[in-house]
């Protein structure tokens, strides 16, 4: 199979849902601005794009219909460029990348923009009118709340509240330091809103301490250990990566960040959905012919501290190399946008840190995991 690369990465600032600076921005408008920013940053010729593939976890309301096509038109892409919306909940935009990779392998195009969006301000968690199947609800935990699954993981792995809080504090510390050092500047596309330009993340809480988090009440179970401080916040945001053949990227002098080495998807028990990255990461690393010891960069989505800790332990990941610039507990987790963010970020970090291999992985509501292994070029 020909070499396929990440030839660009961009995202919006991530802000808290309902009260952040992006709460009044339509998700289609938000993503269109990110797409324009990615094109401007990379210099790719939009006429060469085969398709715009957009991941969204709750594709309804302002991010409904075939929002990918609508975003392409809003972004002024050539009329010839297609648009497809994909949904794998939190793994949606990483799945968009995997889809583009498959299309390229089939010879069905050389250049794709793979994006993700979620406005958790404009479209609520579970959508506007959830209708669970009663028969399925009786025999499966697939409709269980994400917070409950985080409590289940904490109990199964005997992860204490203090362990969870330590990870959350470290995530906030790293993200705040990265923002202060300007390490997010190149990846963020400033977003124009009616209230002005938004150019920095708004969910990061500098100075967060273990003492601060110890004072919070359990969020999902009165006798539990998971709190708002050890959970990723409801977030608004969009992200995008440019996926092309290596030959195309070199021919057009695009900024190659990393080569896609392998990908995987896996299922797991819905009641412990946070463990999804374990099997998917193992599969992806086996397909890449590497082990956790070979990884120089890991982007593991922190849906909850409990599940992130469990995955780090089971996979044997090095915490020092995991979420180097902070994770979702600090930066935020706009569901459909996170996959493209962590793949793009892993590629960017691989280039910045000078490593050989990177892993991006995340859990998915309903009981799935998804992973991507990247290789330095």
Q: Which candidate in 90, 114, 268, 311 is catalytic? A: 90
Q: How far apart are CA 272 and CA 87, in angstroms?
A: 20
DSSP secondary structure string for all residues of 224-252: -S-BGGGBPPPEEEEEEEEEEEHHHHHHT
CB atoms within 10 A of CB 47: 10
pLDDT score recorded for residue 1: 78
Closest among 81, 95, 35, 30 to 242, alpha carbons compared: 35
pLDDT score recorded for residue 330: 98
Q: How far apart are CA 333 and CA 233, in angstroms?
A: 6
Matching residue, tokens 């089971």: 314
Question: Is 333 labeled as catalytic in the residue annotation?
Answer: yes
Q: Which candidate in 15, 56, 114, 333 is catalytic? A: 333
Q: How far apart are CA 263 and CA 104, in angstroms?
A: 14
The phi, psi pair for 274, rounded to 5°, reads -65, -15
- Cβ-in-10-Å burial (0-12, 13-18, 19+) of 293 comes to exposed
CA-angle at 292, arms to 288 and 295, nearest 5°: 80
pLDDT in tens, the chain (377 residues): 799 999 999 999 999 999 999 999 999 999 999 999 999 999 999 999 999 999 999 999 999 999 999 999 999 999 999 999 999 999 999 999 999 999 999 999 999 999 999 999 999 999 999 999 999 999 999 999 999 999 999 999 999 999 999 999 999 999 999 999 999 999 999 999 999 999 999 999 999 999 999 999 999 999 999 999 999 999 999 999 999 999 999 999 999 999 999 999 999 999 999 999 999 999 999 999 999 999 999 999 999 999 999 999 999 999 999 999 999 999 999 999 999 999 999 999 999 999 999 999 999 999 999 999 999 99
Residue 343 vs residues 123, 132, 203: alpha-carbon distances, Å? 25, 32, 20
Helix (H, G, I), strand (E, B) or coil at 156: helix
CB atoms within 10 A of CB 74: 18
Q: How far apart are CA 276 and CA 28, in angstroms?
A: 29
Sequence length of the chain is: 377
Q: pTM for the full model?
A: 0.98
Question: Is 90 labeled as catalytic in the residue annotation?
Answer: yes
Question: Is 311 labeled as catalytic in the residue annotation?
Answer: no
Q: Which candidate in 56, 114, 311, 363 is catalytic? A: 363
């Amino acid at each position: 199979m020909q070499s396929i690369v990440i030839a660009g990465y961009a995202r919006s600032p991530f802000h808290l849902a309902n009260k952040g600076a992006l709460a009044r921005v339509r998700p289609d408008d938000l993503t269109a601005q990110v797409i324009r920013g990615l094109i401007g940053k990379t210099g790719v010729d939009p006429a060469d794009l085969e398709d715009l593939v957009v991941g969204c976890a709750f594709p309804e309301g302002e991010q409904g219909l075939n929002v990918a096509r609508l975003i392409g038109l809003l972004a002024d892409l050539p009329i010839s460029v297609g648009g497809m919306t994909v949904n794998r909940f939190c793994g949606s935009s990483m799945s968009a990348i995997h889809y583009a990779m498959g299309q390229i392998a089939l010879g069905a195009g050389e250049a794709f923009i793979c994006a993700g969006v979620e406005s958790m301000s404009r479209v609520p968690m579970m959508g506007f009118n959830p209708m669970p199947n009663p028969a399925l609800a009786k025999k499966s935990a697939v409709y269980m709340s994400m917070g409950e699954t985080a409590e289940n993981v904490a109990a199964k792995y005997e992860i204490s509240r203090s362990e969870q809080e330590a990870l959350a504090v470290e995530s906030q510390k790293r993200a705040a330091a990265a923002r202060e050092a300007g390490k997010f500047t190149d990846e963020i596309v400033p977003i124009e809103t009616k209230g002005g330009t938004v150019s920095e993340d708004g969910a990061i809480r500098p100075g967060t301490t273990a003492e601060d988090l110890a004072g919070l009440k359990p969020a999902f179970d009165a006798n539990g250990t998971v709190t708002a401080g050890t959970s990723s916040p409801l977030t608004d945001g969009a992200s995008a990566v440019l996926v092309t053949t290596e030959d195309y990227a070199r021919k057009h002098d695009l900024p190659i960040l990393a080569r896609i080495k392998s990908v995987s998807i896996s299922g797991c028990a819905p009641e412990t959905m946070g463990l999804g990255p374990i099997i998917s990461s193992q599969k992806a690393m086996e397909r890449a012919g590497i082990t956790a010891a070979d990884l120089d960069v890991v982007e593991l989505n922190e849906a909850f501290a409990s599940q992130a800790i469990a995955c780090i332990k089971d996979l044997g990941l090095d915490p020092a190399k995991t979420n180097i610039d902070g994770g979702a507990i600090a930066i935020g987790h706009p569901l459909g946008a996170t996959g493209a963010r962590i793949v793009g970020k892993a590629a960017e970090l691989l280039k910045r840190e000078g490593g050989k291999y990177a892993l991006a992985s995340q859990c998915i509501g309903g009981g799935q995991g998804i992973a991507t292994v990247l290789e330095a070029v």
